[in-house]
């Protein structure tokens, strides 16, 4: 019933147009189709806008829409064409199929109201697409365009055409992000695709190599042998991270009283035949012990290295200080027992202990005291080799 009423209105308006004044030629008043509408293949419905440019107070119009095979103006469950009016709420639409296949559309106002505005979309038409429609360009036309103003002046609007561009489904090809350690071989470059089926293989490239410093490098994905037309390529990133470098402090052993050694370290993990020369800051090895420290084990701590392409794993060393062997009577620790030791013991007993005096060596009878008996003992060692 609704459709019949609309058709009656349409016929009435057509009659009005047929009996109004002669056509006026005025480019300021015209109907237009978009030059092109892009639709992805497989889309069932899309919106087709019709624009109206009206330099005078246009109150209504008539046009015939010709769609190519496989396309039709969609209808709702009640069989009414799905055509929405824009720019106005006081106008109505009537539409019917013509014998030549066109859909004649009439917009009118029962109050003879002008369509607001001077340009822009006036109709949005839902167009259904057959599943058989394939990728390609399809021509649509808008003909027999007549506009009417409040004074019943009719304006002819030139026939216009546009193109429905059916595009293949899009596909996105993304280079996958990768990570590698400095000095390693560049991993195999990979990609993933989303959307339509990818036909062909894209090319992948990255300027990084095993000698490239730590940082990020673009993984560029390009067409290669891909045949798809609607393709978006998204580059990835190769991240080169620092390589581990093990630095180990060497172990040392000294006898109590000996000079401290110069601590050395060893390296494990250099890449690309590099040496410690690439370190921007050399490591240090240190120990809390000194020549006078008691016998025992002391850690040799290594730290402080810096480099752009390495991070560090430190392994401490050990300084072992052994007890000095004591020679009875050798109070000056020169390796022999002689008159200088005899004099040293005497001086110590008299309260004038010489520098470097070895009290343990002076206590030749091991009674815990240094006295005249030890003095005599040193003399005996010099003379007989025994205390």
Which of 191-200, 205-214, 241-250, 358-367 is least confident?
358-367
pTM here?
0.64
49-64, pLDDT tens digit by residue? 999 998 878 999 999 9
pLDDT of residue 24: 53
What confidence score (pLDDT) does residue 25 get? 53
Task: Kindly provide the residue ranges of all beta strands, DSSP E only, lying in 1-118, ordered along the sequence.
Answer: 23-25, 29-32, 36-40, 45-54, 58-66, 71-73, 83-85, 92-97, 103-108
- Mean pLDDT for the stretch of residues 173-177: 98
Residue 319 clears pLDDT 50, i.e. is over it: yes
Q: How confident is the model at residue 7 (pLDDT cuts 50, 70, 90)?
A: very low
What confidence tens digit (pLDDT) does each residue in 222-240 have? 999 999 999 999 999 999 9
Instruction: Tell me: pLDDT of 385 over 90.
Output: no
How would you classify the pairing of strands 236-241 and 178-181?
parallel
CA separation for the pair 145, 63 (Å, rounded): 4
The per-residue pLDDT for 171 is: 96
| Cβ–Cβ under 8 Å, residues 32 and 159 | no
DSSP labels for 131-196?
Answer: TT--SEEEEEEEEEEEEEETT--EEEE--EEEEEEEEPPPEEEEEPPEEEETTSPPPPP-EEEEES
Domains recognised in the chain with CATH numbers: 2-167 (2.60.40.680), 173-241 (2.60.40), 244-322 (2.60.40), 339-384 (no CATH)
Which whole number is the average pLDDT over 329-357? 87
Residue 259 has pLDDT above 70, yes or no: yes
Helix axes 339-349, 372-384, angle to 10 degrees: 180
Where is average pLDDT lowest: 13-27, 33-47, 83-97, 346-360?
A: 13-27
CA 110 to each of CA 61, 93, 114, 138, 274: distance values in angstroms, whole numbers, following the listed order: 13, 11, 11, 36, 90
Mark 64-81 as b/e (b = at least 16 C-beta within 10 Å).
Answer: bbbbeeebbbbeeeeeeb
The model's confidence at residue 105, banded by pLDDT at 50, 70 and 90, is very high
**pLDDT band for position 211 (50/70/90)?**
very high
**pLDDT score at 16:** 42
Share of the chain above pLDDT 90, in %: 71
More confident residue, 57 or 66: 66
* pLDDT score recorded for residue 324: 79
Please tell me the predicted confidence (pLDDT) of residue 376.
86
Tens of pLDDT along 22-45? Answer: 455 556 889 999 999 999 999 999
CA distance 247 to 333: 38
281-311 pLDDT per residue, tens: 999 999 999 988 999 999 999 999 999 999 9
| Weakest mean pLDDT among 9-13, 40-44, 108-112, 172-176 | 9-13
Count CB atoms within 10 A of the CB of residue 287.
20
State the DSSP code for 100.
Answer: T
* pLDDT reported for residue 345: 86
Phi, psi dihedrals of residue 165, rounded to the nearest 5°: -100, 110
Please give the mean pLDDT across all residues of the chain.
90
Q: Is the pLDDT of residue 257 over 90?
A: no
pLDDT mean over 161-189: 97
Give the model's pLDDT for residue 363: 86
pLDDT at residue 292, as a whole number = 85
Q: What's the pLDDT score for residue 344?
A: 85
């Amino acid at each position: 019933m609704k459709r019949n009423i609309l058709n009656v209105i349409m016929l009435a308006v057509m009659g009005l147009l047929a009996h109004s004044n002669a056509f006026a030629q005025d480019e300021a008043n015209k109907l237009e189709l978009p030059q092109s509408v892009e639709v992805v293949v497989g889309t069932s419905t899309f919106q087709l806008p019709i624009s109206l440019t009206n330099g005078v107070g246009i109150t209504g119009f008539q046009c015939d829409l010709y769609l190519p095979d496989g396309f039709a103006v969609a209808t709702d469950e009640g069989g009414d064409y799905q055509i929405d009016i824009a720019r106005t709420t006081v106008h109505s639409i009537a539409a019917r199929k013509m014998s030549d296949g066109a859909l004649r559309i009439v917009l009118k106002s029962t109050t003879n109201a002008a369509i607001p505005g001077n340009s822009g979309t006036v109709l949005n038409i839902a167009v259904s697409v057959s599943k058989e429609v394939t990728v390609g360009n399809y021509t649509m036309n808008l003909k027999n365009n007549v506009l009417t103003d409040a004074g019943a002046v009719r304006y002819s609007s030139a026939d216009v055409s546009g193109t429905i561009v059916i595009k293949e489904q899009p596909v996105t090809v993304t280079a996958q992000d990768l990570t590698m350690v400095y000095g390693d071989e560049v991993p195999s470059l990979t990609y993933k695709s989303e959307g339509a089926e990818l036909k062909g293989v894209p090319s992948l490239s990255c300027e990084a190599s095993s000698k490239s410093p730590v940082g990020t490098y673009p993984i560029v994905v390009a067409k290669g042998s891909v045949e798809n037309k609607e393709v978006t390529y998204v580059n990835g990133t190769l991240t080169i991270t620092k390589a581990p470098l093990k630095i180990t402090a060497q172990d040392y052993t000294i006898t109590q009283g000996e000079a401290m050694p110069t601590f050395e370290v060893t390296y494990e993990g250099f890449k690309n035949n590099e040496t410690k020369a690439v370190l921007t800051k050399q490591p240090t090895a240190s120990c809390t012990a000194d020549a006078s420290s008691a016998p025992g084990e002391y850690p040799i701590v290594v730290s402080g290295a810096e480099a752009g392409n390495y991070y560090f794993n430190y392994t401490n060393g050990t300084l072992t200080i052994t007890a000095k062997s004591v020679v009875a009577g050798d109070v000056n620790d020169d390796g022999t027992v002689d008159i200088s030791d005899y004099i040293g013991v005497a001086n110590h007993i008299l309260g004038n202990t010489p520098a470097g005096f070895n009290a343990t060596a002076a206590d030749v009878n091991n009674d815990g005291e240094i006295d005249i008996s030890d003095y005599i003992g040193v003399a005996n060692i010099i003379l007989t080799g025994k205390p």
